[in-house]
A and B are shown apart, each in its own frame.
Chain A
Amino acid sequence: MIYLDNAATSYPKPAESLWRALHRYLQLGASPGRGGYDLAVEAEQAVSGVRRKLCRFFGADEPYQLCFTYNATDALNLLIQGLLRAGDHVVSSRLEHNSVLRPLHHLQRQGLISFDLVPFNPGGFIEPEEVAAAIRPNTRLVVLTHASNVLGTVQPAKEIGTVCRARGVPLLLDVSQSAGAVPIDLRGWGVQGIAFTGHKSLLAPTGIGGLVVGPELNPEPTRFGGTGMDSKSPYHTPEYPYRLEAGTINLFGVLALDESLDYLEQTGAASYEREMTLLKRLRDGLMQLSRVRLYCAEQLSNHLPVLTCTVEGHHSEDVSAILDGDFDIAIRAGLHCAPFVHQELGTLDKGAVRFSLGPFTTEPEIDATIEAMKAIAG
C-alpha cells in the first residue's frame, strides 16, 4: 500500500524506536510515582526525564510545565475548559480543526464565552494584524493552529506571538501537525502554550500527547483523582504536572515518545527536506492535470508536506475510494474535521482530497500516485 495519510497519523512508525520502547516498558513497567519501591521510583524518573526532554525540544524550559494527555484534542480540552470563565472572549481562526472549534462552540452554547474566528489569506496564512484587530478587552485567550491540517500552511507563530504579547493576551498553539515536522520555540516566539500529539510527525503511537503551559496559562483541573501524591487530601493535587494528570499515565506512550525524539534528532530535518521535495514533485505532477484544482500550493515555503485538491466532476470520497480500491493508495477525503477551511475554499459540498507525506514516502510512490490521478482526472 502507498500510504499518504500521515496528517491523520504517521504510518508506519520507526520500528526500531517502538521495539526499544517496548523493551524498556517490559523492564520498567511499574506505576510511575505510585510507590516507594525502586522500580516505581525509576519509572517516575524516566517519565520526568521525558518531560524535560520534550520541554527542551519545544523551547520551553522553566517556568513552562508539561502535562501528558491522551492526544492534542485532550490537551486542548484541558486548557480551554480549565481556563475560560463566564464572560471571556476567545480569538481563534477559520483554519482550525474541530479539536479547537468544538470545545469553543460547546462553551458558547452554554452561554459562557464568545469567540471570533479570524480569516486566512488566499495563501492559507493568518495575518497577525487580523489577530490584533480581533482582540477585545475581555479576550482571555488566542488559540490557533500552528499548521493547517488541510492546507499544510505553517502560520507565522512568532509574529502572532508578538502581537498577542503586546496586547497582554496569552497565545496557545495547536501543534498537532507541526510538532516533529518543523522546529517549535515557545520561549523564542512568546507563545504561552502548546497542545501536541505524539502519533503524527512525532512518530510515536496513538494515545499519548501533552499540554505545555507557561505561567500566564494556568488552567484549573477539570479531571480529578489519584496522582500518587498527598493521598489524605480530599482534593486534587494543585501542583504541576499532577494538576492536569488524574490517574496513571500512559507509560509506554511516554517511553515511545522518548525514543521518537531520539529518532527525530537524527533524521528530522533531513526527512522534512526530503518530504518537501517529494511534495513539490507531486504538486508539479498534479498541476499538469486540467481537472485537478490545488489549494494554497503555489508557494510551498512555510509549508508541511500536505497537499489538498479537488477533481472536477468527482466527489472527493469517490476519488479516495478509487485510489484505495484500484490503486492501493490511502489518502484522506472529505472535510478533514475542519469545516470552515472548506467553507472558505468552496469545497464544503463535496470535500477535498488530501495527500500527506511522511518519512517513509518514496519517489516511486509519488510517481505512482500521479499516474493514478491521471487515470481518474485525465
Chain B
Amino acid sequence: MQRTIGGREFAFDEEGFFNEFDDWTEEAFEILAHEGGLSLSTEQHRQVVRFLRDFYAYNGRAPLNNQLRKGTGMSLLELEALFPGGLKNGARRLAGLPNPKTCS
C-alpha cells in the first residue's frame, strides 16, 4: 500500500507497518500518530520511539519485552496506554519497526 505523507511516498504493509525501516521520518510519525488518535505527541512518546528505533538499528531486531521495560523505564502496561493502538499496533508501528508477523 502506497501513500503520500508530507509530499513523500511511503510503502506500508496491509496492517499499516512501514515496509522499510529507513523510510520512517519524524514527520510521518507525527501525522500517523495524529491519525491514530494522538492529538499531540509528547517528549515521552518521542523518547519511546527513539529507544525503539535506536535499539532496532543497533541490534537488528525489536527489544524483548523485558528490554523494552528497562529501556524506557516504563511498565508495558503504561506504554500500551501511552500509544493509541497499544504496543504492537501503536508504539512499534509508529516507530517504523517491521511488522513482527508472529504465528498469529
Binding site for B on A (CB under 8 A): 314-318, 321-322, 324-326, 333-337, 351, 375-376
Q: Can you list 28 A-B pairs, Cβ within 8 angstroms, ordered by A?
A: A314-B86, A315-B86, A315-B88, A316-B104, A317-B88, A317-B104, A318-B76, A318-B80, A318-B86, A318-B88, A321-B88, A322-B75, A322-B77, A322-B80, A324-B66, A324-B76, A325-B65, A325-B68, A325-B69, A325-B76, A326-B69, A326-B75, A326-B76, A334-B102, A335-B104, A337-B103, A351-B104, A376-B77
What string of 1s and 0s marks CB contacts (under 8 Å) between B56-96 and chain A? 00000000111011000001110010000111110000000
Q: How many A-B residue pairs have CB under 8 A?
A: 53
Whether the pair B65, A324 counts as a contact (CB closer than 8 A) is yes
Q: Which residue of B lies closest to A328 (CB)?
A: B66
Q: Which residues of B contact A316 (CB under 8 A)?
A: 104
Determine chain A's interface SS by DSSP, over half rule: helix
Q: Which residue of A lies closest to B83 (CB)?
A: A318
> How many Å lie between the Cα of A324 and that of B77 in the bound state?
11
Q: Which residues of B contact A351 (CB under 8 A)?
A: 104
> How many Å lie between the Cα of A333 and that of B65 in the bound state?
14
Q: Which residue of B lies closest to A335 (CB)?
A: B104
Give which listed residue, A326, A336, A337, contacts B77 with CB less than 8 A. A326
Nearest chain A CB to B104's CB is how many angstroms away? 3
Pairs A-B, 9 closest by C-beta atoms = A334-B104, A325-B65, A325-B76, A318-B86, A322-B76, A324-B65, A318-B87, A325-B69, A326-B75
Q: Which residues of B contact A315 (CB under 8 A)?
A: 85-89
Q: Which residues of A contact B103 (CB under 8 A)?
A: 334-337
Q: Which residues of A contact B102 (CB under 8 A)?
A: 317, 334
Nearest chain A CB to B101's CB is how many angstroms away? 10
